[in-house]
Amino acid sequence: MANLVIITGESGVGKTTFANWLSEALNVKLISVDYINETIYEILGYKDREEKRKLRDISFNLMYSLLKEQFRRKSDIIIEYPFGHETKEEISKIVNDSNVNVITIRFECPIEKSYVRAVERDATDNTRHITHFASSYPNKLNFENRVSHSFEYYKRRAETRGVFNFDLGRLITVDASDLSNMNTGFYNELLVRIKSEWV
């Protein structure tokens, strides 16, 4: 039986940093849906948000295919993204068909705090791929003139996507209110909890 670790949560909660750490700690392959998105956007480009959404759906389908192949080989895997309603049904079907042990790690913090972190990151992190901000790509948007969404839009999107309620299999919630607590010691404690659910 393979193990699937799903790492989810809204923006700015530390899930990507932990996912990379966990992948190394367990020596397990990590699929970052954001990385797939960025690669596809970079290669194909998009002229508007509707085209961008269709390309994101291609990313999801690629992730589903990769999961099926990993489980066919009975290989463990980690996936990371703000997972919600749009992906839960298909992931559930895949893991049920493949007899997989699932652990969901959901990073949580107040939506107001998550929003502030996301805005600060978007304003200062020049390594963040430009397609996270651009409604079309390639275009003339640069890191000096990017604009973040309003809090109302951010909250509505999170509620619509169902990120706050996502869980499959065994759920482990992580209080991400204070990112200064997200250190190696904390990660190792979380690793012990994950290993206790491992098969």
pLDDT in tens, 135-154: 888 875 555 545 567 899 88
What is the spatial distance between Cα 150 and Cα 18, in angstroms, rounded to a whole number?
27
Other beta carbons less than 10 A from residue 193's beta carbon: 13
Number of other residues whose CB lies within 10 A of the CB of residue 47? 11
Output the pLDDT for position 147: 57
For the segment 25-31, the average pLDDT, to the nearest whole number, is: 97
Does 18 score more than 70 pLDDT?
yes
Q: How confident is the model at residue 8 (pLDDT cuts 50, 70, 90)?
A: very high
Domain of residue 147, residue span: 3-196
pLDDT value, residue 89:
95
The pLDDT value recorded for residue 122 is: 79
Query: pLDDT tens digits, residue range 62-119?
Result: 999 999 999 999 999 999 999 999 999 999 999 999 999 999 999 999 999 999 998 8
Residue of 5, 6, 44, 11 lying closest to 113 (CA atoms): 11
Report how far residue 69's alpha carbon sits from residue 90's, in angstroms, rounded to the nearest whole number.
Answer: 15
Considering the chain, what percentage of its residues have pLDDT values greater than 70? 95
CATH number at residue 166: 3.40.50.300
Residues 29 and 191: their CA atoms lie apart, in Å, by 16
* Average pLDDT of the segment spanning 33-59: 94
Number of folded domains in the chain?
A: 1
Report percent pLDDT > 90 for the chain. 75
Q: How confident is residue 16, by pLDDT bands cut at 50, 70 and 90?
A: very high
pLDDT at site 85:
93
Look at residue 86 in the predicted model and tell me its pLDDT: 92
pLDDT mean across residues, the chain = 91
